[in-house]
Structure 1
Amino acid sequence: MPYPSSDTPAANPSPADSRAARLWEALPGLSYGADYNPEQWPEDIRRQDVELMKEAGVTVLSVGIFSWAWLEPSEGRYDFAWLDGVLDSLADAGIKVALATATAAPPAWLVLKHPEILPVAADGTTLGPGSRRHYSPSSSVYRRYAARMTRALADRYGDHPALALWHVDNELGCHISEYYGPEDAEAFRGWLRRRYGSIEALNDAWGTAFWSQRYGGFAEVQPPAPAPTTLNPTQQLDFQRFSSWALIDFYNMLAAVIHEVTPDVPTTTNLMASSATKSMDYFSWAKDLDVIANDHYLVAADTERHIELAFSADLTRGIADGKPWMLMEHSTSAVNWQPRNLPKLPGEMARNSLAHVARGSDAVMFFQWRQSRQGSEKFHSAMVPHDGTATRVWREVVELGAALKALAQVQGSRVESRTAIIFDYEAWWASELDSHPSQDVKYLTLLRAFHRELFLRGITADLVQPGADLSGYSLILVCTLYTVTDAAAANIAAAAERGATVLVSYFSGIVDQHDAVRLGGYPGAFRELLGINSEEFHPLPQHGTVGLDNGWKGRIWSENVRLAGAEAVVSFTGHPLAGVPALTRRVVGSGAAWYLATFPDDTSLAGLLDSLLAESGVAAPATAPAGVELTRRLGAGGASFLFVINHTGAEADVAASGRELVTGTQFSGVVQPGAVAVIVEDAPGGQPG
């Protein structure tokens, strides 16, 4: 585990670290709550809400996310009386608040007065109001109004006893993440000026000698809009970088207002880190967030949705650099926005919630507290369903609150992992641009396949950036890292030198940060580390497979690999690559570097991973049947918390000993079907850890 232990104080903490520490002091134990939208309900329901919150064990709420039209019903006329009453009632009940800036949906009067704030899509269509997120983050008018609203809230509630956290805007980049209006284009040009310094440097980086694309000045540059054929790939990549930056720049503008008024109160915004969210580089955002908060929703049709949840939680923990984070939204049961909104099965809500805790979250929150009567989210589940408290969902909500209270001592502990999977948003963007060898190569496919196999073995993986500290990892998986900087490639190579087992897959190291091919043979940046040289790609036909000489099979990809210091472990069979290495290994320092030149089928991938685990010495924290999720968190004073989540329909024998926290009894060694156990493990010698 490359992170400091939870009982090691940071030397000279930054203001952000100090604010984060203040948050966790204000929210002891594992926090529990939801988005709360009291403006949707009359006063008598609000009074009932507070009593029900106490019954459920709620400790924190996000308030005011979409309340701008209620707080400022017309320009310059504020109405805070209703929010004063809500916050006072919550403070009296001992419930803390993540108070939102209310900027996630402009009020109608603002759109009427300034329609130029509305977002413009790539085809030139202006997207209108009547929904939410109908603004451009680069709109100077909207930024001025949003800053004014934020300051008004900070001035009024900065000293309120309920305030624990500022919730800046909401799900930035949701629904629309790229903007093409006039101010967006000018902001893009400004970003390019700062990035490159001169138009000559931009021309060089973008390779504008191709197709007469050379620019004489930044004023000539436009966002990548529909064109007769394929666009400049580096222009597309830079626009994606800019679009991600524009959203966090909007966040930073509002956070600066907040910190000016309330310098000690932490700020965050709710990310959407998952296998479905591609457009925002959350690793680059992390430095600007005092605490990482994430929203996660299952895809009900996914029969392995609990594995996707684990992937998303591991990614969120990586974004948080291993520090505790917040699950700010998930659902108690069905959502409202999928083709078929299936309810969660009995016990699934608790398994989902505790799986996020197992993987580093110190808060469990939902959308939302009370299920809406009206609006497009009225069929989205909530902690209080339409049918009230005489429901299965409510009973499970109360049970979960009690379980989280029993797990209070888990707060602040860190997830243990000796395996790293390299994750890079820019490689995701660049690898899926057009005009590549095969459209079947998708960035997440192999990466998630390895993560799944690790999950099935009860092994936790950290998803980390290519430039992260890799010194604590024994196994490092580098999948489809198409674009990589020299420094990041050297960082990965150094990990192998120090003793790690490193596997690099096909279509990695091919281009630099400008999407320029690294000449001299593939895989470019990793040739020397791997001791190979590939002279030509051989992507496979749709649904095609390729045989390997140990009985394995590959799909999607093959290539003509030549050995240059490595040894062949497995080779291709059949025309035209018979005898050509498909899997290679090279001893590097105290470690080893492997190269995988195809996408193995499930059986083959499992066999490959078993070899890598055996070489690296990585193993699960306990012995349990397949389908049982295992994760360990390490706390202060050597405390060890083993989370066991039984996703199967049978009893699971688990080789672990200690006290089970939820029941308060000695762990029996058996976890019932669909149940969760959190065990304070006995230290060697039989004493509690």
Structure 2
Amino acid sequence: MTDPMSTLADRLGGIAYGGDYNPEQWPEDVWHEDVRLMREAGVNLVTVGVFSWSRIEPRPGAYDWALLDTVIDLLHTAGVAVDLATPTAAPPPWFSKAYPRSLPLTASGTRLSHGSRQAFCPSSPDYARAADAVVGKLARRYADHPAVVMWHVHNEWGNHNALCYCDTSAAAFRTWLRDRYTTPARVNDVWGTDFWGQRYGDWEEIDPPRDTTAFRNPGQELDYRRFSSDALLARHRAESALLREASPGIPITTNLLGTLEKKVDGHAFARQSDIVSVDHYLVAADPGNHIDLALNADLARGMADGRPWLLMEHSTSAVNWQPVNVPKEPGEMRRNSLTHLARGADGILFFQWRQSRAGAEKWHSAMLPHGGTGTRTWGEVSSLGAELGAMSEVRGTRVQADVALLFDWHAWWALELEARPSQHLRYLDTVRDWYGALWDLGVTCDLVAPDTDLSRYRAVLAPSLYLVSDTDADALHSYVRGGGHAVLGPFSGAVDTHDRVRTGGYPGAFRDLLGLVVDEYLPLRQGESALLSDSSRALLWSERVASRGCTARLRFADGPDGGPARGGPAVTRHSYGGGVGWYAAAALPAQSLRDLLDAVCREAGAEPAAAVPPGIEAVRRRAGDRSYLFLVNHTDREVRIPVAGHTALDGSALPEYVSLPAGDVVVLRERAVPQQASLHREGAR
């Protein structure tokens, strides 16, 4: 089956390049300048209409299509394709005034007001009717317009309104529970309501987990997050259905937020999209933000099941929403963009085309800044457009990854509910630590859901799998029995999908796979550490481990410096079937974590894309007989890298070494090598 992203790139004639276009913010005479400059910059795709509901439907049931008609025709004439958005992320003021109960309610009972975006309750029937009406009209009007090559559903689902606690949401929650559990008795069982006398006798007794006197029921909170994500997903499906009915041949996407969005299950939304799109923004204060960029790109690729994906938004320079919004250094925007391309994106788009002169995002950078075409940013935008145009042959290739890292929103939600052993053991912190160690080793990985087919990977990392289903736990057992290497982080396997403790000894679901029993979880106080046998120190977390067949690869030191788990195993290895289960019973410091993952990768046969010095990122994209090596220099010095057998994209021969200046990126064509056999074809070696 043809991949929709590759088909889109073919239709555009190359890699997608452009951004959000908001012509409603500008007078009509500016629009003609916009399309001229878009062509000058190499733009071939723009998103239109994201926040245009109040323009399209200025009064209830009265539609005005003049602006969209003019703009879409103008773009088409200029050869710029349109990603046409449904405007439902910004209900107009008249809607909120007419239906005040559609506005979200906080857990403490405060009704939020109109005045920003996403000011609606996801379960509101009034919102659903109004949204479906405008989407249906939009779909029927533009389904056959030759400029429209993709539909963009909503904008950043759940970014601001994922959790609403109003009575409408309460009623919808009860319906969701009834469909899932059938009877209140079953709810009582999975939530453990006999604790603190919360047992329910009737559906109407169940409310959302609003603010209360003490800790809320964790099973109820977890299910409310699932319900809330599902409520938004139902809206995504409803809008998508209207678009598919009007134009079955046009692919559908929505811009997901990756690790920036905890409140909705990104995997679920990705599975309902023809093309996976993500937004990614650097945290300026983070010196390792290039690693977070790579992590989110690998997550996007994982959500796309390895297929090419689309970077829907990133910034040309500074954003507007951080405490201090630092501009990007010269060349940084290009480096960010090409890193996304290296990790599987077939499109590089920005928020936004022209920098706003009013509103909350006027200090957010854009492709065309306030200063116009004389700015450094504009020069870099135009140069990048030309460079991407020359890289057209890369589109449609796929990133090759030997390692999978399991990323699960449900485990994230559960770990960070109230009343855990330590509030300092945070999901993203753990995932980023493990990913960073792998990045330092140069090993490419896919970030995937726990229910992914793992058979194609040599090693699987599960840094933080506190919650895991029986099915996913069984699949990981089968993967290791078949010859795989699985590495689990601390506090994994402890609870089932309802946040009920797996009794019989920790780590619950993985005792047999790991060949051990954890007698007790031993979180460390802030400022406290535990000395390890490699002379490093673990922070935040430790566990008292008893072997049931595993061997210790690293130990907590004997004596008081070893902390509460002194003398016990901190890292273990256990042969299981044809493979190996590894366990980290501590929040390992960076070097110890790198040593662990290096040992796992070496034993599993997972190798870097290329032998490069520290600070150089190397990623390979491949399809059939085409293979491309991306080299990204994140250091402040020039490096020389051997490139025997590689050529430049223009086909010219290269010397024995390629010089890669500080902060630069080079893309090389290489002789394709045979595709690596899957783990299970090779068996346990």
Match for residue 252 of structure 2? 267
- Following superposition, the deviation at residue 186 of structure 1 comes to 1.0
1:456-467 matches, within 5 Å, as 456-467=440-451
Q: Establish whether residue 653 from structure 1 lines up as the match of residue 640 from structure 2.
A: yes
- Following superposition, the deviation at residue 424 of structure 1 comes to 0.9
Distance of 2:279 and 2:594 partners within structure 1: 31
Match for residue 504 of structure 2? 520
How big is each residue's C-alpha offset from its partner over 1:90-141, in whole Å with a ceiling of 9 and x where there is no partner? 1111211111111111112222222222111111111111211111121101
Q: Establish whether residue 452 from structure 1 lines up as the match of residue 432 from structure 2.
A: no
Q: State the secondary structure of the residue aligned to 1:389.
A: helix
Match for residue 189 of structure 1? 174
CA contact under 8 A between 1:64 and 1:99: conserved in structure 2? yes
How big is each residue's C-alpha offset from its partner over 1:459-486, in whole Å with a ceiling of 9 and x where there is no partner? 2111111121111111211112011111
Q: Establish whether residue 138 from structure 1 lines up as the match of residue 116 from structure 2.
A: no
Distance 1:59 1:559, change over 3 A: same
Distance 1:85 1:512, change over 3 A: same
660, 674, 678: which one aligns with 2:663: 674
CA contact under 8 A between 2:434 and 2:463: conserved in structure 1? no
- Following superposition, the deviation at residue 22 of structure 1 comes to 4.8
Distance of 1:73 and 1:537 partners within structure 2: 58
1:131-530 matches, within 5 Å, as 131-274=116-259, 276-530=260-514
Match for residue 680 of structure 2? none
Distance of 1:605 and 1:266 partners within structure 2: 42
CA contact under 8 A between 1:622 and 1:654: conserved in structure 2? no
- Following superposition, the deviation at residue 579 of structure 1 comes to 2.6
Q: State the secondary structure of the residue aligned to 2:374.
A: coil
Distance of 1:602 and 1:72 partners within structure 2: 54
* CA RMSD across the alignment: 1.6
How big is each residue's C-alpha offset from its partner over 1:604-634, in whole Å with a ceiling of 9 and x where there is no partner? 2222222222212222111211111111111
- Following superposition, the deviation at residue 41 of structure 1 comes to 1.1
CA contact under 8 A between 1:662 and 1:678: conserved in structure 2? no
- Following superposition, the deviation at residue 21 of structure 1 comes to 6.1
Distance 1:476 1:210, change over 3 A: same
- Following superposition, the deviation at residue 545 of structure 1 comes to 1.1
Q: State the secondary structure of the residue aligned to 1:288.
A: coil
- Following superposition, the deviation at residue 665 of structure 1 comes to 5.9
Distance of 1:119 and 1:663 partners within structure 2: 57
1:100-139 matches, within 5 Å, as 100-139=85-124
Distance of 1:671 and 1:454 partners within structure 2: 22
- Following superposition, the deviation at residue 568 of structure 1 comes to 2.0
CA contact under 8 A between 2:159 and 2:263: conserved in structure 1? no
How big is each residue's C-alpha offset from its partner over 1:226-273, in whole Å with a ceiling of 9 and x where there is no partner? 111001110000001111111111111111111121122121111111
CA contact under 8 A between 2:6 and 2:308: conserved in structure 1? no
How big is each residue's C-alpha offset from its partner over 1:326-355, in whole Å with a ceiling of 9 and x where there is no partner? 100111011111111111100000011111
Q: State the secondary structure of the residue aligned to 2:271.
A: helix
How big is each residue's C-alpha offset from its partner over 1:543-564, in whole Å with a ceiling of 9 and x where there is no partner? 2111223433222112221111
Q: Establish whether residue 26 from structure 1 lines up as the match of residue 15 from structure 2.
A: no
Q: Establish whether residue 614 from structure 1 lines up as the match of residue 605 from structure 2.
A: no
Q: State the secondary structure of the residue aligned to 2:130.
A: helix
Bigger Cα displacement from structure 2, 34-43 vs 578-587: 578-587
Q: Establish whether residue 642 from structure 1 lines up as the match of residue 626 from structure 2.
A: no
CA contact under 8 A between 2:104 and 2:165: conserved in structure 1? yes
CA contact under 8 A between 1:420 and 1:463: conserved in structure 2? yes
Bigger Cα displacement from structure 2, 664-673 vs 125-134: 664-673
Distance of 1:201 and 1:596 partners within structure 2: 35
- Following superposition, the deviation at residue 183 of structure 1 comes to 1.2
Match for residue 576 of structure 2? 588
Distance of 2:653 and 2:76 partners within structure 1: 34
- Following superposition, the deviation at residue 666 of structure 1 comes to 3.2
- Following superposition, the deviation at residue 184 of structure 1 comes to 1.1
CA contact under 8 A between 2:481 and 2:578: conserved in structure 1? yes
Distance of 2:672 and 2:150 partners within structure 1: 37
CA contact under 8 A between 1:624 and 1:652: conserved in structure 2? no
Listed as ranges, the gaps of 5+ residues in structure 2 are 675-685
Distance of 2:6 and 2:176 partners within structure 1: 33
507, 510, 516: which one aligns with 1:532: 516
CA contact under 8 A between 1:295 and 1:330: conserved in structure 2? yes
Distance of 1:421 and 1:322 partners within structure 2: 13
CA contact under 8 A between 1:624 and 1:653: conserved in structure 2? no
Match for residue 72 of structure 2? 87
The one-letter amino acid of 1:461's match is C
Distance 1:355 1:663, change over 3 A: farther
Distance of 2:566 and 2:662 partners within structure 1: 48
Match for residue 530 of structure 2? 546
The one-letter amino acid of 2:572's match is T
Matched pairs, number: 668
Bigger Cα displacement from structure 2, 221-230 vs 264-273: 264-273
CA contact under 8 A between 2:120 and 2:161: conserved in structure 1? no
Distance of 2:180 and 2:80 partners within structure 1: 45
Match for residue 682 of structure 2? none
Distance of 1:555 and 1:311 partners within structure 2: 23
Q: State the secondary structure of the residue aligned to 1:669.
A: strand
Distance of 1:430 and 1:87 partners within structure 2: 45
Distance 1:664 1:348, change over 3 A: farther
Q: TM-score, structure 2 length as denominator? A: 0.95
- Following superposition, the deviation at residue 590 of structure 1 comes to 2.3
CA contact under 8 A between 1:662 and 1:677: conserved in structure 2? no
Distance of 2:672 and 2:606 partners within structure 1: 20
Distance 1:458 1:568, change over 3 A: closer
Q: State the secondary structure of the residue aligned to 1:154.
A: helix
Distance 1:358 1:261, change over 3 A: same
Match for residue 625 of structure 1? 613
Listed as ranges, the gaps of 5+ residues in structure 1 are 1-9
Distance of 1:246 and 1:201 partners within structure 2: 22
CA contact under 8 A between 2:622 and 2:672: conserved in structure 1? no
Q: State the secondary structure of the residue aligned to 2:241.
A: helix
CA contact under 8 A between 2:165 and 2:208: conserved in structure 1? yes
